[in-house]
């Protein structure tokens, strides 16, 4: 007893699926309480109940020793509960203060006309920005900010609502190492204000850095709840997946063949400069760097999305001009984007429709589609990638991990030889991650090459043969797998030079 917030015996079922069964959860003031679990474990559902989006089938919520009722998001807000979603929910064309005070703008004392007191809004926003030590101006337009900075704006918005509980859903999903560090600093500052922070994450390594308490959910039940100092990583993983994971990065040793892709002195618009690299058949080249280092630009130039570029690109020893994704694709080069809903998938089309899109010729005769062959190929790939879904299922309804696999399936279907994979496992659960690493192994075994662009350092170090570190549009350093250390990569990623 005596917890600030208590959720008691919360149960929830959707149709026939028991999503939460008698879950107990407690959070205290000035504490970061992490909830971890795989996709489908019920963490988001639990938090959506707390923030009023879902009603529980049974169970009670107590706050400050009294039972409270949360029927809708508005009531949750009145109780001081704020949720920061994985996707940013701000108005991109408005400035920080306008976003922070959206729909509850301070008014001037004058009775009529009721004017907004912008001076006060800007003053209060600046005050919060200063408290958190953020070098931002209250009048900065939100879309000009980085993802990390936008998260901070959401944080400030919650604080200005006098939030007592802030729920953060996968806050580090799209952030770089450096930004994550800053985020953690901000979280600690917010904690000092007496706010209770509930932190939902997949990334176990973060938990020990930031969380005071950890609750692990698996299949709708609490499997572990303890102080984070009492748990080590293997214990957490075990509680999450229910089995021992031997190796989180099952990298196979594959013999490298001939050169598959060679890039010479590639430059585009000043955003990337003088980039030379090569990938052999069977090789995984990791590329990492902070956001803004040009990782994504490099991928898009290679795939023909950005252009015209300077320099040369050779595929299998022959020069080719990456003028459009279509040309890149027909040379066997593909880009497995990290941005699922905008660039990766047609969200309201079925799995099979998405899979065959890059190579419709394979399922057609003289331009006429054969839906039979389409389903057949799609089912093959669904089995091979263990997506466990029907090929007619709409991709929107799939979990993040399955969606990532569908994007990958598209390019396996198009028989890509060089795959540029961007953030291949961001925001997905451990089991799906392992699946994707195994597919990468399978691909390089079959003679394909992979350029893996990732900001997840353990992943980069675990899966790559070589690691190129980008800074400010250039490759600063290329490590062999054996030479790479986290510190070394970070040194070059933040602008360090060879001495």
Binding site for another protein (CB under 8 A): 17, 38, 40, 53-54, 219, 241, 303, 305, 324-326, 328-330, 334-335, 337, 342-349, 353, 357-358, 360-361, 364, 367-369, 388-390, 392-394, 397, 410, 414, 431
The whole-angstrom separation of Cα 310 and Cα 20 is: 55
Could you tell me the smallest distance in angstroms from the CB atom of residue 495 to another protein? 31
Spatial strand order of the sheet with 284-289 comes to 333-336, 418-422, 449-453, 284-289, 466-471, 474-480
Pairing relation of β-strands 5-14 and 17-27? antiparallel
Could you tell me the smallest distance in angstroms from the CB atom of residue 56 to another protein? 14
The residue among 120 and 438 lying less far from another protein, judged by its C-beta, is 438
The residue among 207 and 334 lying less far from another protein, judged by its C-beta, is 334
Residue with tokens 């936008």: 150
Residue 39 DSSP SS3: coil
In this structure, what DSSP letter does residue 11 have?
E
The whole-angstrom separation of Cα 351 and Cα 347 is: 9
The residue among 40 and 294 lying less far from another protein, judged by its C-beta, is 40
The residue among 45 and 77 lying less far from another protein, judged by its C-beta, is 45
The residue among 222 and 467 lying less far from another protein, judged by its C-beta, is 222
Strand partners, 198: 33, 167
Could you tell me the smallest distance in angstroms from the CB atom of residue 218 to another protein? 10
Could you tell me the smallest distance in angstroms from the CB atom of residue 344 to another protein? 6
Do residues 398 and 348 touch, judged by C-beta distance below 8 A?
A: no
Cis peptide leading into residue 72 (ω within 30°)? no
Ramachandran area for residue 134 (φ above 0: left; ψ -120 to 50: alpha; else beta): beta
Could you tell me the smallest distance in angstroms from the CB atom of residue 6 to another protein? 25
The residue among 234 and 348 lying less far from another protein, judged by its C-beta, is 348
CA nearest neighbour of 304 among 322, 284, 321: 322
The residue among 226 and 305 lying less far from another protein, judged by its C-beta, is 305
The residue among 80 and 250 lying less far from another protein, judged by its C-beta, is 250
Distances (CA, A) of 250 to 91, 129, 247, 442: 42, 43, 6, 11
Could you tell me the smallest distance in angstroms from the CB atom of residue 222 to another protein? 18
In this structure, what DSSP letter does residue 97 have?
H
The residue among 295 and 477 lying less far from another protein, judged by its C-beta, is 295
Tokens, residue 374: 């389409």
CA nearest neighbour of 198 among 170, 177, 217: 170
Could you tell me the smallest distance in angstroms from the CB atom of residue 415 to another protein? 12
Alpha helices (H) in 169-231, listed in sequence order? 177-192, 204-210
Could you tell me the smallest distance in angstroms from the CB atom of residue 417 to another protein? 14
The residue among 274 and 348 lying less far from another protein, judged by its C-beta, is 348
Could you tell me the smallest distance in angstroms from the CB atom of residue 11 to another protein? 16
Q: Looking at 28-186, which runs of residues are DSSP E strands?
A: 31-36, 58-63, 66-68, 81-84, 165-169
The residue among 233 and 369 lying less far from another protein, judged by its C-beta, is 369
Residue 447 DSSP SS3: coil
Do residues 473 and 448 touch, judged by C-beta distance below 8 A?
A: no
Could you tell me the smallest distance in angstroms from the CB atom of residue 380 to another protein? 17
Could you tell me the smallest distance in angstroms from the CB atom of residue 388 to another protein? 7
Sign of the alpha-carbon torsion through 201, 202, 204, 206? negative
Buried b (16+ CB within 10 A) or exposed e, 345-375: beeeebbbbbbbebbeeebeeeeeeeeeebb
The whole-angstrom separation of Cα 477 and Cα 491 is: 10
């Amino acid at each position: 007893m005596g917890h600030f917030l208590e959720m008691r015996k919360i149960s929830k079922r959707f149709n026939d699926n028991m999503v939460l069964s008698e879950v107990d959860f407690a959070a205290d003031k000035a504490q970061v309480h992490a909830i971890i679990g795989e996709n489908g474990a019920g963490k988001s559902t639990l938090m959506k109940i707390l923030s009023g989006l879902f009603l529980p089938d049974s169970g009670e919520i107590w706050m400050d020793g009294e039972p409270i009722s949360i029927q809708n998001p508005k009531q949750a807000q009145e109780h001081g509960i704020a949720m920061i979603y994985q996707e940013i929910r701000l108005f991109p064309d408005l400035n920080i203060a306008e976003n922070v005070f959206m729909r509850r703008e301070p008014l001037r004392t004058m009775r009529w006309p009721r004017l907004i007191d912008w001076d006060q809004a800007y003053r209060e926003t600046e005050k919060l920005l200063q408290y958190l030590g953020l070098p931002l101006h209250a009048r900065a337009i939100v879309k000009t900010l980085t993802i990390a900075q936008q998260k901070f704006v959401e944080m400030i918005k919650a604080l200005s609502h006098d939030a007592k509980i802030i729920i953060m859903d996968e806050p580090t999903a799209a952030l770089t190492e450096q930004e994550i560090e800053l985020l953690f600093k901000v979280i600690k500052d917010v904690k000092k204000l007496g706010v209770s922070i509930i932190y939902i994450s997949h990334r176990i390594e973060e938990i020990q850095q930031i969380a005071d308490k950890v609750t692990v959910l698996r299949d709708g039940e609490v499997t572990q709840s303890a102080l984070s100092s009492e748990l080590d990583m293997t214990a957490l993983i075990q509680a999450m997946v229910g089995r021992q994971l031997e190796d989180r990065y099952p990298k196979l040793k594959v013999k490298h063949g001939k050169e598959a892709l060679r890039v010479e002195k590639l430059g585009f618009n000043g955003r990337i400069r003088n980039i030379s690299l090569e990938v052999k058949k069977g090789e995984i080249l990791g590329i990492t760097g902070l956001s803004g280092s040009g990782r994504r630009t490099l991928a898009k130039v290679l795939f023909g999305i950005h252009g015209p570029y300077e320099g040369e690109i050779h595929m299998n020893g022959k020069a080719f001009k990456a003028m459009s994704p279509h040309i890149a694709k027909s040379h066997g080069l593909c880009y497995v984007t990290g941005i699922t809903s905008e660039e990766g998938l047609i969200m309201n089309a079925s799995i099979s429709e998405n899979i065959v899109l890059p190579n419709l010729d394979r399922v057609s005769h003289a331009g006429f589609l054969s839906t039979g062959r389409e389903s057949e190929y799609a089912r093959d790939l669904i089995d091979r990638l263990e997506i466990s879904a029907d090929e007619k299922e709409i991709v929107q309804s799939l979990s993040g991990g399955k969606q990532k696999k569908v994007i990958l399936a598209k390019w396996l279907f198009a028989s890509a030889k060089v795959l540029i994979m961007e953030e291949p496992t961001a925001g997905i659960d451990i089991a799906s991650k392992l699946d994707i690493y195994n597919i990468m192994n399978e691909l390089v075994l079959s003679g394909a090459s992979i350029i893996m662009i990732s900001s997840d350092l353990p992943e980069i170090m675990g899966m790559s043969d070589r690691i190129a570190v980008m800074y400010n549009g250039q490759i600063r350093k290329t490590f062999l797998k054996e030479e790479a250390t986290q510190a070394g990569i970070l040194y070059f990623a933040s602008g360090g030079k060879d001495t």
